[in-house]
Amino acid sequence: MSSSGVGTLTAAPPPPITPPKPPDRGGQAPAGRGDGVALQERPAGPPRPGQVHNLMQTHAERDQLINGMLMSDGSGKPSQTEAASLRSSLGAVDTGVLRFASDPGLKIGVLNPGDEMFQAGVLRRQDPKAIQARGPELQAFAQKLDAQLDQKYGNRLDSVKKELAALPEAPMAGFGMSSPDPHAEKRGNLFQQLQTLEGQRGKELGDAVEKSGLPVKPFVIPTDSKQMLGSPAAQQMALVQAMMPMSTAGMAAIHGAKTPEQVKEFHGLLESINGPRLQAAREDALGGMRQAAERAKTPEEKAHFENLLKLSREKPEAIPLDYRKHNLLVPDMHYVADDKGKTTTVDLHDKMTLMDWSGSGTRTQKAFDEDNLDGSVIEGQYFSRGGMNKMVVRDTALGKGAPVHELGHAIDFQMEQKDPQFYQGWKARLEAAHARTEGLEGKTVSEYAKTNPREYAAEGFAHYYEDPKGLKAADPALFALTEELIARASALGGRR
């Protein structure tokens, strides 16, 4: 899992730990490896004394490099057994690549059930007072962004919605009877257009907010990795929930606000960020309720909407808002409580990290398996935000591919920083290769590699060292790209 929040996931128990074997890459070793020995085309028979000496030096240097990257304190500090397992897993990686990874101070840790995530040094506290102090700046940003999106998408969205509203209501089917909708095709096409436009607008909103670096986010309903790996019905339910109108009271609850003081604090931040646009969203929702009351076909239905209107006027925080239509932004802040009941605040990235590792609270839970269906499915994660450079692996994933996969993320992110000229061209080719793997017909080394280009790169890195022939057979483009990345990292790592 990279710092973007996508994970190294599993549902299978780990195999026994075995020492790595020198990989047969099925091709030439990358240039500039810095190992002192090639890992293919070895002569038959026992190695000569000089070769043994070179191998021993290489293994000693790898162990030294890996030991230097291990966390030395906190809950992520590996035990002696865990450290040995990490040396075994990462010992297959080229020495030059390990030098490249260690140069900016990469730290590697292991998380066991019950470990405190803050003590592992991978989470950051979010200060609500600091967000409040930036209120005018955040409100100006939100207003400008809203105007830009409304100018680009507003008229087109309104047009599609008017066409939908003009269609006769779809006939209701009775028990055991079919009642075809003569406008079904047009209705479906319009819904598809609406979904596409809202998706494009939502992506632009999210990209602009992410690029700004401000402590705000478009409102989302967080989902953990396990939920999105569930059945299609569970995934669809998560998506439907994410599209439903939401009151500001609901937003506060989803952000973990429980006490009156927390709810008041969250609402204050909402008002500070959105300003008059929040009231406009409420007025829009009230207008929709009034129209529904006027269109009511029965006295009971009319009374229902009138009571809803009365309640909404008395408690504005209960009005369900179309937050996507109004591009409402929320503070990038979630309330979380530790096992002692003490509450702190974190941003969305760290909230989702906690959901993946801990479920609730701030301590890691046991891994998911057939005996622990409520366990966590995440195996590892790399953190790069805010100058952080850490990777953690679950204790039960040490004998699997997780350590090398997460190291792949580290190499990917570090190359972006260290050699942007190389990375720009390499990334464009990686993204093009990844695009060809999407869909049911797309083929690559694993389904998880299809998640996004970052995971595609990390899976390529892991399989290059664990099953290079399989990688080359399954995805020759990814094999070549991985070999190119490793060659560049080795060359840079070989420089003293």
Between CA 184 and CA 180 the distance in angstroms is 8
pLDDT score of 41:
33
Backbone angles phi, psi at 202, to 5 degrees: -60, -40
Q: Is residue 247 part of a domain?
A: yes
Q: Any idea which residue has 């494009």 for tokens?
A: 200
Q: Is residue 12 part of a domain?
A: no
pLDDT score of 13:
35
Q: Are 376 and 364 in contact (CB under 8 A)?
A: yes
pLDDT score of 53:
42
| Lookup: tokens for 417 | 């920083």
**Host H or E run for residue 92:** none
**147 is in which domain, residue-wise?**
128-167+184-332
Q: Is residue 306 part of a domain?
A: yes
pLDDT score of 32:
30
Q: Is residue 148 part of a domain?
A: yes
Q: Is residue 404 part of a domain?
A: no
Backbone angles phi, psi at 379, to 5 degrees: -110, -25
Extended strands (E) in 78-232: 107-111, 216-218
Q: Is residue 158 part of a domain?
A: yes
CA distances (Å), origin 342, targets 335, 345, 354, 361, 390: 10, 10, 15, 10, 26
Between CA 366 and CA 396 the distance in angstroms is 9
pLDDT score of 347:
94
The full DSSP string for 193-239 is HHHHHHHHHHHHHHHHHHHHT-SEEE------HHHHTS-HHHHHHHH
Q: Is residue 216 part of a domain?
A: yes
Number of domains in the chain: 1
Q: Is residue 151 part of a domain?
A: yes
CA distances (Å), origin 270, targets 121, 159, 219, 248, 313: 29, 30, 11, 8, 18
What is the mean pLDDT, run by run of 10 residues, along the chain of 496 residues?
A: 51 36 36 29 45 59 95 94 96 94 93 92 94 95 93 92 84 56 84 88 92 91 54 52 76 94 95 94 91 89 90 89 88 89 92 87 80 72 92 93 96 96 97 89 90 96 95 96 97 76
Backbone angles phi, psi at 71, to 5 degrees: -60, 135
pLDDT score of 326:
87
pLDDT score of 96:
94
